[in-house]
Structure 1
Amino acid sequence: MPDRRTAGLFAAAALAVLTAGPAAAQEVREPGLTPYVIKDYAVEKPLTGKPGDPAQGRKWAITSGQGNCVICHRLPIPEVEFRIGNVGPDLTEVGSRLSAAEIRLRIINPKTVNELTIMPAYYRVTGLHRVDDRVAGKPMLSAEQVEDLVAYLSSLK
């Protein structure tokens, strides 16, 4: 159970989101990455200009060192034996709740939707903290991998 201060912060954040109205479009450019536009908590256009491959996206969802979604989220992937799957929201039917554009933003940079999330930004290279020198300046996922994950997660209905 959250304490009063935490509960108050969550209530204030929820009120801000509910009363903010549509957000202005914001173009995001980072070195070496495809630019994209965030509008209304979504990125409408695929980073690659074309849809991803859901079968590949399913692969990234269970690949350690890539998407590895199953470490925090429940997904309909029964062959994965070890998974925590209860830290983040259940993604079993995420394609029924969120559009592909909303899913895309949550993969690219979930902090734009919820600044308190512990989910990492999979398609960012700037403004990050505690990044190992070996991977500095590289996104966790390529534009193609992001689109593959979007295609897979959008198919979950």
Structure 2
Amino acid sequence: MLVALTQTALAPVAIVGDAIPLPLDGRTGDAARGRSIATDTRKGLCPLCHTGLGGAGPAGDLGPDLSEVGARLSEGQLRLRLVDGRVLNPATLMPSYYRTGGIRVAGAWRDRPVLEAGEIEDVIAYLVTLKGASRTP
């Protein structure tokens, strides 16, 4: 008996320095969709560790405040951190949102990334808008 295992095909990534300069799926993300993902404690999970996202719920303090992340990091730098921040810091607590094969994931997440390529791009589109006092909530 043959059993086919289904795995989400991940777009190939090219790391250049401290960034992945090109969008994962070849398109620019949508900031409104990205905000929805980034502020959702069930989808993007960002508020569990980060403040400064503009969401309505409580936020954690394990990770840095993201209210000015768009002024500090480029799209490519954000992309690498979301795809697999362990490339930059093997001891990071930041989850790898675009990777499969993790050994410490629930069964529902095995062989698929936490966020799809388009969702990663949407989150990046939102994060680059976060530039501190100049942004609107």
Normalised by the length of structure 1, the TM-score is 0.75
**Residue in 2 that maps onto 1:130:** 104
How large is the RMSD of aligned CA atoms in angstroms? 1.5
Aligned residues: 125
Cα displacement (A) at 1:147: 0.1
Cα displacement (A) at 1:31: 6.2
Q: Secondary structure at the match of 1:36?
A: coil
Q: Secondary structure at the match of 1:115?
A: coil
Q: Distance in 1 between matches of 2:46 and 2:26?
A: 24
Q: Within the alignment, does 1:94 sit opposite 2:85 as a pair? A: no
Any residues of structure 2 matched to 1:20-99 within 5 Å, and which?
32-80=9-57, 82-84=58-60, 86-99=61-74
Unaligned runs of 5+ residues in structure 1 are 1-29
Q: Stretches of 4+ moved more than 6 A in 1?
A: none
Q: Distance in 2 between matches of 1:89 and 1:65?
A: 20
Q: Distance in 1 between matches of 2:94 and 2:103?
A: 13
Question: Percent same amino acid among aligned pairs?
Answer: 39
Aligned-partner residue type, residue 19 of structure 2 = A
Unaligned runs of 5+ residues in structure 2 are 1-6, 132-137
Q: Secondary structure at the match of 2:109?
A: coil
Q: Within the alignment, does 1:145 sit opposite 2:92 as a pair? A: no
Cα 1:65–1:48 shift into 2, 3 Å: same
The structure whose Rg is larger is 1
